[in-house]
């Protein structure tokens, strides 16, 4: 198998006078919540990488799916999830995960390289099938 690089809401209604006093507290709380989600997602990504290194692809993919649920804005988690799907032969899912990763981080060289290699392999496979 080809080598890939692993990268690794609540609504609040406030009265107008209360908004000014609490807006910075809400911003801090939202930032803290985002940081917690990213930390938890990163832990899942790291665990998934260890599982992948041990060639436990179902476990790795499960961890990366968990990471993307915890933090849907984590492009590296989507990249790794795409790789996990590839290794499991879930090519449509891999395509969707790569697209999500690229949408989140369009300038990422790592994600672009993985996606380009994925596309190249899929093109070759389709050509063989069409013969």
Q: What is the CA radius of gyration of the chain?
A: 19
Is 60 exceeded by the pLDDT of residue 61? Answer: yes
Q: What is the pTM of this model?
A: 0.74
| Residue 3 scores a pLDDT above 90 | no
How far is CA 9 from each of CA 33, 53, 78, 102, 111, rounded to the nearest angstrom?
Answer: 10, 35, 21, 24, 28
Question: Are the C-beta atoms of 67 and 79 separated by less than 8 Å?
Answer: no
**Domains in the chain with CATH codes:** 16-130 (1.25.40.10)
pLDDT at 15 over 60: no
């Amino acid at each position: 198998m080809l080598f890939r690089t692993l990268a690794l809401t609540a609504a609040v209604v406030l009265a107008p006078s209360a908004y000014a006093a609490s807006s910075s507290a809400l911003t801090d709380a939202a930032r803290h919540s985002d940081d917690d989600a990213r930390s938890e997602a990163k832990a899942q990504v790291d665990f998934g990488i260890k599982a992948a290194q041990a060639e436990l692809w179902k476990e790795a993919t499960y961890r990366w799916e968990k990471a993307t649920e915890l933090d849907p804005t984590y492009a590296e988690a989507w990249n790794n999830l795409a790789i996990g799907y590839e290794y499991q032969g879930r090519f449509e899912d891999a395509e969707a995960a790569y697209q999500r990763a690229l949408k989140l981080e369009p300038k990422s060289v790592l994600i672009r390289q993985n996606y380009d290699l994925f596309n190249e392999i899929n093109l070759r496979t389709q050509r063989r099938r069409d013969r």
